[in-house]
Amino acid sequence: MEVALRGVWYSYDGQVHVLKNVELEFSEPGIYVVLGPNGAGKTTLLKVSSLILKPARGAVIVDGADFWELSEEEKERVRRSVTYVHDKPIIIRGSVRENITIGMKIRREVDEELVDYYIKRYNLASVQRMPASRLSAGQAKAVSIVRALVLRPQLLALDEPFAFLDDLRAQTLVEDIINMVSKGGRVLIATHYMYGRLSNIANYLVELLSGEVRRFTKLR
Ligand SMILES: Nc1ncnc2c1ncn2[C@@H]1O[C@H](COP(=O)(O)OP(=O)(O)OP(=O)(O)O)[C@@H](O)[C@H]1O
Ligand SMILES: [Mg+2]
């Protein structure tokens, strides 16, 4: 699924613009790293690209269509292919496993085998029956990432995914991201720090400062 931002402006309060005339194209499958300091607008950019926040001005074009002009039904259909993972993990009441399957349940398509696969892969098997509220910060982050991965999105936006993850889980995530891209997916990653493991795999770099794209570079 091709996504493009055309002259996108965004404001939370209707006064200060935190995204300013952003032009971006996620036209090829790949890993798009959005890099910038705290407050640059990375989270906002990811939420606009994931079809969560509606731009104040400009358009988000998905496979040639202006997303915000689509009917509610069409919007819902398109959104099924897109998943955003918050920087701070959102944990609902219930067990770890229930937290992982929540997105699937909403879509009424729980694939228990796929859930088992990712639970093992992210080392969560021993805690899967535990109340999710008892998870450590890194475990909670892993759960929120697995919750997205089991939905097999075509566009996956990860907000500071490596914060809190241990080395093993971070490496597993890198493998899963590469795998997703090899199948034609697009992965957007917001970060304030260019981790070594990220610079090794990034295909594109979006440098964001004060809500403006300063540079959009193809790396490999
Ligand atoms: N809900 C909100 N209401 C009002 N202003 C907001 C809100 N969320 C973010 N902002 C403002 O928008 C600007 C960009 O915030 P954003 O969260 O997109 O930055 P960021 O690059 O993700 O920062 P960080 O590295 O700290 O995560 C900031 O100035 C912030 O204060
Ligand atoms: Mg952020």
Residues with CB under 6 Å of ligand 1 are 12-13, 18, 36, 38-44, 87, 192
Any idea what the CATH number is for the domain that residue 209 is in?
A: 3.40.50.300
Structure confidence at residue 108 (pLDDT) = 84
Q: Which of 10, 11, 12 to mutate to test the pocket of ligand 1 (most atoms within 8 A of CB)?
A: 12
Which residues constitute the domain of residue 62?
3-218
What is the total count of domains within the chain? Answer: 1
Tally of CB atoms within 10 A around 128: 18
Tracing tokens 């004060």 back to the chain, one arrives at: 210
Find the helix packing angle between 137-149 and 112-121, rounded to 10°.
140
126-153: pLDDT as tens digits:
999 999 999 999 999 999 999 999 999 9
pLDDT below 50 — which residues of the chain?
none
Tally of CB atoms within 10 A around 77: 11
CA triple 167-168-171, angle to 5 deg: 85
* Beta bridge pairs of residue 59: 6
84-116: pLDDT as tens digits:
999 999 999 999 999 999 999 998 889 999 999
- Strand, helix or coil for residue 129: coil
DSSP state of 55: P
CA distances from 44 to 52, 87, 93 (A): 9, 12, 27
Structure confidence at residue 82 (pLDDT) = 98
Structure confidence at residue 149 (pLDDT) = 98
